[in-house]
C-alpha cells in the first residue's frame, strides 16, 4: 500500500534542492531566523505573474536598486516606473504596482496587510498573489495555487477534470496538503518541483520526492495532465508605423499611448490602427504627420516587423522619413535622441519597429 503524499517529504527535498533566487530567503537562512521583506516578496510575485524567472531577475534587481522601499516606489513618477518596466510585458502590472505601492505607503503606513483578504483588496493582487505573500512573507497556511501547483496537484491526485473547471478541487487538495509549519517554504517547494521536475513535458518522475504517492505516475497519465480546453487560433492584424528621424541627430519622434488597453501608458512611434484589413496605400495617406510644416518623403523599409501578442499576430510595415530640424512637432509628441532610446518606455514591438528603420 502506497503512502499518501506528505508535506514533510517535499520540504526535505526543498531543503536540499531549493533554487537560489534573488528574492528568496533560503531554507537555511529561514532556520537561522532570517525573515523575508514583504516588499521584496510582493515585488517579485507581481513580476513573476505569467513571466519566467530568467526574465524577471534583472528587472527585480533594477527595481530594488531604483526604489529600495515601498515608499520610494510610491513617490516615483509613474513614467519612471513604466520606463523601468519596459520589455517585461503586461504593462497594467506596472500601473497597478505603482497604485498598490501608493496605497500601502499612504493608507497602511508602509506595511502590507498580513491577511489574504486584505492583500487581495490591493490593486494587482489576485487570489494567487495574495496567498503567496501571506504564506511566504507572513507564515500563514494559505493555499497557493499557480500554474505549477495546478500541474503538480492534477498529477499527484490524477485530476482529469479540465482547467479551469478543476480549479476549486485543486485549491482544496493544496489546502489539505499545506502544513501549519513552513507554509511559505511548502508553497515555494511545490512551485520549484513543478518548475524543475514535474515539468509540462517529460517530467523527471524518477527524481521526484512524491513519486511513490503520485496517482498519475502509477497510471501513466502524468504527461497528459493537466487537461485544458483547446485554445483559439490567433488572427493576424496589420498596420503601419512611421519612424520620423530628425535630420541633425536622428532623434526619433515618439508619442504616448492611451493609459488603458493594449500597451497602455507606454510610448510608441506614430502609426495606424492595427486593423484586420488594411492596405499600404491607406497607410501612407494616414500618416498623422501632416501638420509639422514640412512635406515628408515616407519610404517603406524592406521587410515587415512581425510580433505576437497574447491574442493576435501583428505584421507592421515600417516607413521612415528624414525631418528638417526646423519642422514642428505634432501634439503630444517629442524627439528622443538615439542615446535616450534605451531609457524610454518603449515596448518590445516598438523597439523592433525603430530598429528596422535604422
Residues found near DNA in the complex (CB under 7 A): 19, 21, 23-24, 44-45, 48-55, 87-92, 96, 123-130, 132, 146-148, 151, 164-165, 167, 188, 191-192, 194-195, 200-201, 228-234, 261-264, 306-311, 347-349
Pick the closer one to DNA by CB: 63 or 323. Answer: 63
Pick the closer one to DNA by CB: 264 or 300. Answer: 264
CB of 22 to DNA, least distance (A): 10
Give the integer Cα–Cα distance in Å for 137 and 90.
24
CB of 244 to DNA, least distance (A): 21
- The CB density around residue 186, as the number of other CB atoms within 10 Å, is 24
Pick the closer one to DNA by CB: 85 or 289. Answer: 85
B/e letters for 304-339, b = 16+ CB within 10 Å, e = fewer, are ebeeeeeeeebebbbbbbebeeebebeeebebbeee
Measured N-to-C along each axis, helices 167-177 and 147-156 cross at an angle, to the nearest 10 degrees, of: 80
CB of 309 to DNA, least distance (A): 5
| Residue closest to 173 by CA, chosen among 194, 145, 136 | 145
Q: Are 36 and 184 in contact (CB under 8 A)?
A: yes
CB of 247 to DNA, least distance (A): 29
Half-sphere exposure of 195 (CA within 13 A, CB side): 16
**SS3 of residue 1 by DSSP:** coil
Give the integer Cα–Cα distance in Å for 337 and 273.
25
Pick the closer one to DNA by CB: 235 or 295. Answer: 235
CB of 2 to DNA, least distance (A): 26
- The CB density around residue 300, as the number of other CB atoms within 10 Å, is 14
Q: What residues are labeled active site?
A: 45
CB of 30 to DNA, least distance (A): 14
Measured N-to-C along each axis, helices 183-196 and 147-156 cross at an angle, to the nearest 10 degrees, of: 80
Pick the closer one to DNA by CB: 125 or 251. Answer: 125
Pick the closer one to DNA by CB: 141 or 347. Answer: 347
H runs (alpha helix) in 51-161: 53-66, 70-75, 78-85, 92-107, 116-120, 127-138, 147-156
Amino acid at each position: 500500500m502506497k503512502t499518501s503524499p506528505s508535506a514533510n517529504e517535499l520540504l526535505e527535498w526543498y531543503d536540499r534542492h531549493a533554487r537560489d533566487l534573488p528574492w528568496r530567503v533560503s531554507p537555511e537562512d529561514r532556520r537561522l531566523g532570517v525573515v523575508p521583506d514583504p516588499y521584496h516578496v510582493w515585488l517579485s510575485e507581481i513580476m513573476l505573474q505569467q513571466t519566467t524567472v530568467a526574465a524577471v531577475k534583472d528587472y527585480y534587481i533594477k527595481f530594488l536598486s531604483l526604489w529600495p522601499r515601498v515608499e520610494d516606489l510610491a513617490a516615483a513618477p509613474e513614467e519612471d516606473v513604466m520606463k523601468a518596466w519596459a520589455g517585461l510585458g503586461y504593462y497594467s502590472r506596472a500601473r497597478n504596482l505603482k497604485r498598490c505601492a501608493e496605497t500601502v505607503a499612504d493608507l497602511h503606513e508602509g506595511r502590507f496587510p498580513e491577511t489574504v483578504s486584505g492583500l487581495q483588496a490591493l490593486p494587482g493582487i489576485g487570489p494567487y498573489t495574495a496567498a503567496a505573500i501571506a504564506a511566504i512573507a507572513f507564515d500563514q497556511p494559505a493555499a497557493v495555487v499557480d500554474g505549477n501547483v495546478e500541474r503538480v496537484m492534477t498529477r499527484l491526485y490524477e485530476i482529469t477534470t479540465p482547467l479551469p473547471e478543476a480549479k476549486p478541487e485543486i485549491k482544496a487538495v493544496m489546502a489539505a496538503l499545506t502544513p501549519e509549519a513552513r507554509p511559505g517554504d511548502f508553497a515555494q517547494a511545490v512551485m520549484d518541483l513543478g518548475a524543475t521536475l514535474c515539468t509540462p513535458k517529460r517530467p523527471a518522475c524518477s527524481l521526484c520526492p512524491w513519486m511513490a504517492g503520485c496517482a498519475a505516475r502509477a497510471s501513466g497519465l502524468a504527461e497528459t495532465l493537466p487537461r485544458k480546453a483547446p485554445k483559439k487560433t490567433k488572427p493576424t492584424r496589420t498596420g503601419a508605423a512611421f519612424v520620423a528621424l530628425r535630420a541633425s541627430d536622428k532623434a526619433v519622434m515618439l508619442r504616448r499611448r492611451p493609459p488603458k488597453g493594449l500597451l497602455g501608458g507606454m510610448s510608441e512611434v506614430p502609426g495606424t490602427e492595427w486593423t484586420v484589413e488594411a492596405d499600404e496605400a491607406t497607410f501612407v495617406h494616414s500618416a498623422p504627420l501632416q501638420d509639422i510644416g514640412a512635406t515628408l518623403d515616407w519610404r517603406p523599409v524592406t521587410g515587415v516587423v512581425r510580433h505576437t501578442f497574447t491574442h493576435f499576430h501583428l505584421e507592421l510595415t515600417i516607413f521612415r522619413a528624414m525631418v528638417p530640424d526646423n519642422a514642428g512637432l505634432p501634439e503630444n509628441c517629442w524627439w528622443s535622441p538615439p542615446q535616450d532610446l534605451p531609457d524610454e518606455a518603449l515596448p518590445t514591438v516598438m523597439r523592433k519597429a525603430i530598429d528596422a528603420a535604422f
